[in-house]
Amino acid sequence: MGNRPAKHPWRNLVAVDLSFYKSYISDELRAQSRAEDVLLVLEQRGLAVSDEVRGRVTECADPDLLRQWLTRAVTVPEAEAIFGDG
């Protein structure tokens, strides 16, 4: 379109909003980031994070479950308690 007046309206008309786009890779990256957040909170609180806890958190690919664990990581007395299975 060059420098023609229609350039900006045309660009707005053909723009595609991809914010809703979800893919396996984007979900995996979100989960990885959230897992890192869970571990960071536990470590910053001075809680001992065992290899078992670290492995379970980093292997989790469910962003909703990781969000639950992140919420629990703020208040649990020990790292293992984020899982709520005991």
Q: Give 10-30 pLDDT, tens digit per residue.
A: 666 666 665 566 677 777 888
pLDDT of res. 63: 87
Q: Which of 83, 33, 31 is nearest to 56 (CA)?
A: 83
Is residue 44 scored above 60 in pLDDT? yes
- pTM for the model stands at 0.70
Contact 66, 38 (CB under 8 A): yes
pLDDT of res. 58: 95
Mean pLDDT taken over the chain = 85
pLDDT of res. 13: 64
Rounded CA gap, 42 and 82, in Å? 9
Among 17-21, 47-51, 58-62, 77-81, which stretch is predicted with the lowest mean pLDDT?
Answer: 17-21
Show the tokens assigned to 37: 């957040």
